[in-house]
Amino acid sequence: MLPAAAAMFPQLRSCRSDASESLPLRHPRGYQISMFPRFSLPLSGIQKDILRRLALEGPLKRAGLIADTGLSAQTIMRAIAPLRDADVVSETPIRIGERGQPARELRLRPGRLCLLGVSVSEFEVSVKLRDLAGAIFYRERERGAYGDPELAMQTLGLMLAQARAALPPGSDCIGTGIAAQGYMVEAGRRVAARGGITDWIALDLMGRIEEMTGLPTTLENDSRALALWVQDNLPELPQEAFFLHLSSGIGGGQVSGGRLVRGAWGNAGSVGGLIPRGPDRPSETRIRAAFGVETWDELPGIPPRKRQEGMEWLTRAAAQLSPALQAVASLIDPEVIYIVCPLPDEIAEALIARVSLLSEARRSTLKDLPPDKLRLPRLAHWPSVEPDIAACAIARDAALGR
């Protein structure tokens, strides 16, 4: 697939630094260094906004950009010209009516600007290479025990070398995003990962990946990275929202005023720290175990007794989850709490039905309040997405803003 994909993008022009042409090297620690071609054209705020709009919305008409931004036609034309000259965007006349000048439609050049997404967790590392419009050129993941960060770095080094080889000719990269499972101990640089906390704390994860790729790199907790990705894909994002991420662990992210809240050390929204560890802790891994399935495709075939046991376990898990979400509802006051998890609809609905957002203290305090005046967040399910996909969104936002 990769050679065929590369053949689709011949003769693309490049704005890259000479250093980006370096061949893969072997670092003294044993992992590979694969310098990616770095896009070097300075971008104005207007140009970043145009590229971001094209990435999220697809082709745009020049007249629509002028109307949406409130900028003059001359300003928009001056912003587009360098992007067009660098083959970053194409501009095509489109005849809409019989009279007047044809409209001009802007599109991203396929494969021209790329994003690198890296995901690191206790049991899996992965790398994804895609262009700004969403075409994927490389994706690989490896499961294992990554309590040793050097093992994770060596595995990532091999993947990054393969991703570098899969980059279409003439492409440049605008950055790397890292979605890392763990507690941030230095905002944007280091995480405490389960299974090897001491060793992971000592690792400058952001600096190491930047060294391995030669690209500007941004590190985010995986749950907050997923919150960013969900923001991109919601038809209408509430200004105040919370994202509960259920995977092998439990994480969260908060959006306030339409923007992700990171906190002093990058740990805002870490709701997992409010939920006791034990057999009823509601991670996605434990939910599957409660129903006796390895994958959710097996759910229709389980016996009724096992389904009933799973539902009874959900009741206990919801009792563990409810106090944490009651704290979220009281302290953050979101409009919506999204449960981001790859659950079948019936399981997600059953879990949501069992969660209470009204604490006993608040219930007694507001007992005389009319029910229609009691403002509680809405609980909604969002099917999960892989962290390496969200990591590409991190790279895009770091380069182009949000």
Q: Are 2-40+111-227+387-400 and 236-382 the same fold in CATH?
A: yes
Residues of the chain with pLDDT under 50: 1-23
pLDDT of residue 16: 45
Alpha carbons 291 and 300: distance in angstroms, whole number: 11
Alpha carbons 168 and 223: distance in angstroms, whole number: 30
Q: Are strands 113-120 and 172-180 parallel, antiparallel or unpaired?
A: parallel
- pLDDT 10s digits, 273-282: 999 999 999 9
Alpha carbons 106 and 54: distance in angstroms, whole number: 8
Q: How far apart are the first and last CA of the chain?
A: 32
Domain map (residue ranges) of the chain = 2-40+111-227+387-400, 45-108, 236-382
The second-level CATH assignment, the architecture, of 45-108 is Orthogonal Bundle (1.10)
* Tally of residues, the chain: 402
pLDDT of residue 328: 96
Nearest of 14, 26, 36 to residue 215 by alpha carbon: 36
> How many CB atoms are located within 10 Å of the residue 305 CB?
9
- pLDDT 10s digits, 75-86: 999 999 999 999
3-state secondary structure of 124: strand
* Residue 80 CB partners (closer than 8 Å, separation 6+): 50, 62, 89, 91, 106
CATH T-level fold of 2-40+111-227+387-400: Nucleotidyltransferase; domain 5 (3.30.420)
Residue 100 gets the label, from left (phi > 0), alpha (psi -120 to 50) or beta, of left
Q: Are 185 and 192 in contact (CB under 8 A)?
A: yes
Alpha helices for 234-339 (secondary structure H): 284-291, 304-331
- Out of 2.102.10.10, 3.30.420.40, 3.40.50.2000, 3.20.170.30, which CATH number does the structure's domain 236-382 have? 3.30.420.40
Q: What is the pTM of this model?
A: 0.86
> How many CB atoms are located within 10 Å of the residue 232 CB?
14
Alpha carbons 386 and 400: distance in angstroms, whole number: 22
Q: Are 396 and 115 in contact (CB under 8 A)?
A: yes
CA distance to 81, 150, 151, 176, 178, per residue, from 29 (Å): 45, 8, 11, 21, 21
* Residue 238 CB partners (closer than 8 Å, separation 6+): 255, 334, 335, 336
pLDDT of residue 27: 61
pLDDT of residue 5: 35
Q: Are 244 and 274 in contact (CB under 8 A)?
A: no
